[in-house]
Every structure is written in C-alpha cells, then in structure tokens.
Amino acid sequence: MKKGLFYFACITLLSLSAIAQPSTEVYLFDMKANGETMSISNPINVSANSGRYDNQPSFSQKTGELFFVSQDATPQIDIFIYNPARGTKTNFSNNASNEYSPTLTPDGKYISCIREVDGTQLLWKFPIRKGEPVIVVPDLVIGYHAWRDDNTLVSFVLGDPQTLQISDLATKTNKVVASNIGRSIHKIPGGNLISFLQNREGQPALIQSLDTETGKIETICEAMADSQDMAWTPKGEIIMGQGSKLFVWSPATKGWAEAADLGATFQLNGITRLAVSPKGDKLAVVVNE
C-alpha cells in the first residue's frame, strides 16, 4: 500500500472506530486495592447512553473528575466530565468535531485529546476554563498519548508499523523509540517513566517502561494474553481485564492474580479500557453492552 493511502486508511479506521465497535458503556466503581487483592463495589453507569459508543476514560489528577467520550445520535463524539462527588455529567467539548482520548495536561490547565477536524486527526488541547483549543503536535498523526511533563509527550503514532515517539514541545522535535506497540500508554506513578505495551508475534505483549531522558527501555512484566488495556494504581499495581474478569499484577509478587469477576457479580462483560482515580479509590471500566 502506498504511504499516503496507508495513512488515510489509519485515520479513517481511528475516526470510524466508534461506529465499527460494539456499543460500550463506562462504569465507575468504588475500589480498594492492596497488592494482589482488590475489591470493587457500587457500580454506576456514568455514560448511561445505551446503543452508542462511550469509551476512553481517564481521571483528572487534580480534581478526581472522570473524563470520557460519548457519542450522540448524529453520531457526534464529545468529551464529557463526570463529577463523582456530585454525580453530575457535563458535555465539555460540545462542538462540531469529534474528540477522543481526553487527558489532563500536567499543568492542569487543559484537556488534551485527539480531535478530528475536516477529516484530519491531530493532537489538540482545550483550555479547562476559557479560550480556544490549539494544536499540540502539527506534524504527527497521533492515536494515543501520555504526558511526562509540560514539554514532553509520548505518543502512539500511526504508521506502518505504528511507533512510539517522544515529542519535545520546546524544541519541536520527535524521536522514534519503539515500533509495533499497543495503544495503552501511561505515566508510571511515583516517577517520570512511561509505560507502554510492546506487541510480540504469537505471544502476549510485554509491559515496558521508557525513560524519556535516556531512551532506556526495560521490561516490567508480561501482559495478560489478548489484552491491550491496562491501568496503574497509585501504589504501583497494574490492572488488566480479560473477558469479564479483572486481574492485578503486584510488584511485590511479580505475578498476575484474578481480583474480580464483573460477569458473576454485576453481569458485565467485554472489559477493555480502564482508569484508576488519583487516590486509588475509584475504578472506571469500559464494558460491552
């Protein structure tokens, strides 16, 4: 496939993902996690949008509010903010473009997201208060991202193959550090390392850490088979889903343990994306309807 056609196919696939995927909902649970043990309770369907695409949760590290995207009947995809304390949901972006993967910037002043405008998808940031959104990286087609600090961004960049790239926003430079990666990219609690999934042919992916200053990559553990989504707890545990079950990896035991079965307890299945609140007391889970 020619390069131009490949990029068009990638962009189209990303923008149509909400339509092509099964209908999903975002649930919020109370959570207690300690090593290999975890308990979840009090599920709330915060998207409450039957028959449509609701996905990509992340928490504000400043306020503990939950960000996610939700599709309306048009089908328009906007960023919503759910306040757990008040039980309220607000349409944050509410515009004619589609937005994906909302993430609070390190300074707490913006929500960065993948925004589709006139068929082009780039990484933008929206002011939390007032002001116009601006493009963050104009020269990369980014699918997913995580912030190390105000000037350092790590991104899943569409291409053949997809690559992991570090962007220095001060110098406006981009550096490829890995390829054939998964979509789950996160800042590891307690430091400045970034985690990502390194895909392997015929084997479970590896969860790896990246030092953005030195470029050093180290393996943390092997991911759950057939799982591409994970979340960190503040204590350094990793949570992944598989079918209806949640599993926890503990740095103490360096092994996976089944922690909860959402199917048996709450009749929920098809776990994909996950997010943990800053205090570690809330867990957001995307499930199939």
Distance in angstroms (rounded) separating the CA atoms of residues 99 and 115: 5
Concatenate the DSSP letters of all residues of 172-221 into one string. TEEEEEEESB-S--EEPTTSS-EEEEEEETTEEEEEEEE-TTT--EEEEE
pLDDT of residue 20: 53
User: Tokens 């996976």 identify what position?
Assistant: 256
Distance in angstroms (rounded) separating the CA atoms of residues 19 and 155: 24
Distance in angstroms (rounded) separating the CA atoms of residues 278 and 175: 29
What is the CATH architecture of 3-288? 6 Propeller (2.120)
CB-CB contact of 155 with 137 (8 Å): yes
pLDDT of residue 222: 98
Distance in angstroms (rounded) separating the CA atoms of residues 104 and 123: 13
Q: Give the HSE-up count for residue 150: Cα atoms under 13 Å, Cβ half-sphere.
A: 5
Q: What are the residue ranges spanned by the domains of the chain?
A: 3-288
pLDDT of residue 118: 85
Q: Cβ neighbours of residue 30 under 8 Å, at least 6 residues apart?
A: 40, 41, 42, 281, 282, 283
Distance in angstroms (rounded) separating the CA atoms of residues 209 and 195: 4
User: pTM for the complete prediction?
Assistant: 0.91
**What is the mean pLDDT, run by run of 10 residues, along the chain of 289 residues?**
38 44 89 86 97 97 97 91 97 94 98 92 95 95 97 96 97 98 97 97 97 97 96 96 96 93 97 97 97
